[in-house]
Structure 1
Amino acid sequence: MMSERRILHSDADCFYASVETVLDPTLRGKPIAVCGSTSGRHGIVLAKSYIAKRAGIRTGMTNAEAKKRCPSLIIVPPHFERYSRFSAYLRGIYSRYTDAVEPFGLDECWLDISSLPRDPVEIAEQIRCEVRDELGLTVSIGVSFNKVFAKLGSDMNKPDGITVITRQNYRDTVWRLPCAELLFCSNATAKRLAEIGIYTVGDMAAAEPEVMQRCLGRKGLTLWSYARGLDSSPVISPENAPEAKSVGHGITCVSDIDDPAGAERVIYALAQSIGGRLRGLGLSARGVHVTAKNSALFCRGWQKKISPTQSESDIAATACELLSRNYRWQLPIRALTVTAIELVSEREPEQTSLFCSVEDKLRSERLGRSIDKIRKRYGGRAIVPAVVLGDDKLPSGRGHDIFGEIFDPFGGRGSERDLT
């Protein structure tokens, strides 16, 4: 019989704001918020200190609303290079205990310590102390027998706390929580579950799996198994992670897009990063997915299969076609995301069409790699499609220059949460 797994989930408390406080001690004890640009639509609260949280500041709130609610709030611009550096420091501490460390964003990690003979709570406490003493940060840690419950535990006793969820206590500890507290159960998913009388994790666990599947499809079965403590997913370190399943890029526009021409310019800009990242990963896309969020914050997405490609033009043209066929323009578009899906190795044999010029395809691939080299050396704006030049819908400025992120084969910087 296999021994019980012992999984930790460590979550750095108010990570962005805490890093800013460590690097600028004058901010300590004050309400601070890390916010995007005040001049553009990225001017929202990305992270806040606990003092700001107690003053009513919430992630996603606009800068203006946050200042109105807390006039003494100190707004700090994001410094992603600092957060990446401290994230690496955190993983360095975790790796003292196990090689099985799986990042979940910049501020969270799972650790599998099943092979260690020591008490997992003792290890969690030692990690908590080392992070505080060496980095000046606090972490909240969940200890459990699977990843989902460990993640849930790290959210239950913040800040600077440790929560243990065992096979003996998870029914009392977890089942009373609202559905949205469970990993991958969004507020929208919880709302759909509420429509069929499922409000808590315990309700999920008690439901018939067929009911969950009818309501949510395969995701329903996954959440049902999570609620019953049946998650068996392994902790996978980055070097052992499977190949990417998709490569995408999305932005919230500076102002709403109110016509197809404006959407086309944004889509072509987004596609620039996708092609370079596919080539950097040695992958080709056999499908394209585009998601549009309208001014009422309602999202819709569409996808289409294509011949394997790394071409920015092919990806952008397909995304534009999908949007043209499906979006009705009853409301303007606030945000767009383009994603290359169904990825395969660029070396995989391809059955070409009679109407496809192999010579043109090879020429396009060589051109793409040449452009990558230029961008890598001179920056993302060295070469861009003429169609996107001068577009005032695209965010710019430090921290939000879409072209400054073009040449990053592994997907750009991370963030505490997916906010846009």
Structure 2
Amino acid sequence: MCNRVVFHSDLNNCYASIECMLHPELRGTYLAVCGSTEERHGIVLAKNQLAKKCGVKTGDVIWEAKQKCPQLTTVPPHMEQYLKFSKIVRAIYLRYSPEVEAFGIDESWIEMTGSPLLEHRSPVDVANEIRETVKAETGLTVSIGVSFNKIFAKLGSDMKKPDAVTEIWEDTFRDQVWPLPVSDLLYVGRATTDKLARYGIHTIGALAKAEPEFLQRVLGRNGLKLWIYANGKDTSRVMPCDYEPPVKSIGHGITCTADLATEYEVRQVLLELSQEVGKKLRKHHLAATGVRIYVRDCTLNHREYQARMPFPTQSFLELAEAGSKLFHRRYGWDHPVRSLTISAIDLVPSDTPIQLDLWTDFARHKRKLDLERTVEDIRRRFGIRAINFASLGDSLKIPSHREVEYKMPAVMYQ
């Protein structure tokens, strides 16, 4: 057995389980937590085991889920409760190790290497104690993977659900892991699965046996990482709970309440979204040297475009303008637009020196930043709706509760 011991704990059917725990009358029903149909988020966000057995999947449209499971009960999400219980469960993990790394709201890695708890007990015994403690104190169940690295610990927690512990060790992983579909491996998404399938790579074992140079040619740097993971060579550490990784990009996106049919409507939404991006850039003391927009049309097809900024900026006005120009230049208007995301990318420290040139009005750039800081200060003191652009009035096709959404923009980390 390897000297390293890592747990990965996954709250089973997190959203649905919390809803059943808070509302006992929902127990024993076929349950799905779904977004708002009125605001065009009418998809399944989570489901319980009964609904899963009927074929209901995360991402199903509500009407599609009810076709699969006519007796399905749907409830809206209550994110404040999910975050609350996530913190409670993570506090339980911290009793066993100071190194607990969150992986989303419902999953965590726990570093157990060298723990005094393992001096007279097996890792499985300790994992089962954690599992029983979570159940006793919260009413929720977890599945725990026990392994010698993070990747296989995560895979183990997925292998038996719900309420189970699975071991994967260095002397057994080839028999346990290699026959599994390559899509079961962490960070192998649909596009990567399809690309690997074109070369006859369908299992984790086939990925492990492929030439790393070939995978690097096909998948770039990610190909080499996946080869390392498949061969059990991952050595990444479990980060302490207070660790904050470097910010890689900052974005904000939304599904519109009605399809956008003109570039003016697109510019309105990009301007609205960019304001939170600029705010987060200032909070993290970063500036963007690039902008990226993600566009999903009414047929649910999506496109992604990006461009360089002329100089590093924190200005949401400049980001919105760059995003609008990028949209105008690249989007062909085959279909109306359903949702938009704008992101600040290629981030650098905000105090990075700017090379002046003869054509850019840097005085105007500074006035924009001063204006935006003043707007933010007014909103902080008097509320988010205290001041806004006249063009962003009632005709804006985004949910009326968007000020709540502003609290949770997408921040991507290294």
Regarding TM over 0.5, the answer is: yes
Residue 305 of structure 1 is matched in structure 2 by: 308
Q: Deviations over 1:108-162 (max 9, x none)?
A: 1111111204132222111101100000000011111111111111111000111
Seen in structure 2, the aligned counterparts of structure 1 residues 385 and 146 have a Cα distance that, compared at 3 Å, is farther
Seen in structure 2, the aligned counterparts of structure 1 residues 288 and 413 have a Cα distance that, compared at 3 Å, is closer
Deviation at 1:21, TM superposition (A): 1.2
Structure-2 separation of matches of 1:358 and 1:89: 49
Match of 1:343 among 343, 347, 352: 347
Structure-2 separation of matches of 1:289 and 1:413: 14
Are 1:245 and 2:248 an aligned pair?
A: yes
Unaligned segments of structure 1, at least 5 residues? 415-420
Q: TM-score, normalised by structure 1?
A: 0.91
Contact 2:7 2:112 in 1 (8 A): yes
Contact 1:290 1:338 in 2 (8 A): yes
Partner SS, residue 388 of structure 1: coil
Match of 2:150 among 143, 147, 151: 147
The residue identity in structure 1 corresponding to 2:51 is: A
Q: TM-score, normalised by structure 2?
A: 0.92
Contact 2:14 2:106 in 1 (8 A): yes
The residue identity in structure 2 corresponding to 1:106 is: I
Are 1:106 and 2:109 an aligned pair?
A: no
Of 256-265 and 272-281, the range deviating more from structure 2: 256-265
Structure-1 separation of matches of 2:105 and 2:278: 25
The residue identity in structure 2 corresponding to 1:274 is: V
Contact 1:157 1:163 in 2 (8 A): yes
Residue 168 of structure 1 is matched in structure 2 by: 171
The residue identity in structure 2 corresponding to 1:114 is: T
Partner SS, residue 141 of structure 1: strand
Residue 285 of structure 1 is matched in structure 2 by: 288
Q: Deviations over 1:213-244 (max 9, x none)?
A: 22221221221111111212221235323221
Partner SS, residue 63 of structure 2: helix
Contact 1:16 1:83 in 2 (8 A): yes
Residue 49 of structure 2 is matched in structure 1 by: 50
Partner SS, residue 162 of structure 2: coil
Structure-1 separation of matches of 2:357 and 2:151: 46
Are 1:331 and 2:335 an aligned pair?
A: yes
Of 230-239 and 39-48, the range deviating more from structure 2: 230-239
Residue 403 of structure 2 is matched in structure 1 by: 403
Of 315-324 and 78-87, the range deviating more from structure 2: 315-324
Residue 374 of structure 1 is matched in structure 2 by: 378
The residue identity in structure 1 corresponding to 2:329 is: R
Q: Deviations over 1:78-110 (max 9, x none)?
A: 111111100110110111111211111110111
Of 51-60 and 92-101, the range deviating more from structure 2: 51-60
Residue 232 of structure 2 is matched in structure 1 by: 229
Unaligned segments of structure 2, at least 5 residues? none
Partner SS, residue 390 of structure 1: coil
Contact 1:42 1:254 in 2 (8 A): no
Contact 1:268 1:385 in 2 (8 A): no
Q: Deviations over 1:286-338 (max 9, x none)?
A: 11111222334333222222211111111111111112111222233332221
Of 47-56 and 12-21, the range deviating more from structure 2: 47-56
Seen in structure 2, the aligned counterparts of structure 1 residues 4 and 385 have a Cα distance that, compared at 3 Å, is farther
The residue identity in structure 2 corresponding to 1:240 is: Y
Match of 1:316 among 310, 315, 320: 320
Residue 74 of structure 1 is matched in structure 2 by: 73
The residue identity in structure 2 corresponding to 1:134 is: E
Deviation at 1:196, TM superposition (A): 1.3
The residue identity in structure 1 corresponding to 2:331 is: Y
Residue 387 of structure 2 is matched in structure 1 by: 383
Match of 1:138 among 137, 141, 151: 141
Structure-2 separation of matches of 1:131 and 1:413: 29
Residue 90 of structure 2 is matched in structure 1 by: 91
Seen in structure 2, the aligned counterparts of structure 1 residues 227 and 352 have a Cα distance that, compared at 3 Å, is same
Seen in structure 2, the aligned counterparts of structure 1 residues 70 and 413 have a Cα distance that, compared at 3 Å, is farther
Deviation at 1:392, TM superposition (A): 5.2
Are 1:9 and 2:13 an aligned pair?
A: no
Structure-1 separation of matches of 2:369 and 2:280: 13
Contact 2:265 2:396 in 1 (8 A): no
Q: Deviations over 1:237-270 (max 9, x none)?
A: 3532322111011222333333322222221222
Structure-2 separation of matches of 1:391 and 1:258: 13
Structure-2 separation of matches of 1:233 and 1:15: 26
The residue identity in structure 1 corresponding to 2:33 is: V
Contact 1:288 1:341 in 2 (8 A): yes
Partner SS, residue 142 of structure 1: strand
Identical-residue share of aligned pairs (%): 46
The residue identity in structure 2 corresponding to 1:324 is: H
Name the count of aligned residue pairs. Answer: 406
Structure-1 separation of matches of 2:261 and 2:230: 42
Structure-1 separation of matches of 2:33 and 2:43: 9
Structure-1 separation of matches of 2:34 and 2:362: 48
Contact 1:46 1:59 in 2 (8 A): yes
Structure-2 separation of matches of 1:130 and 1:377: 43
Partner SS, residue 92 of structure 1: helix
Of 295-304 and 95-104, the range deviating more from structure 2: 295-304
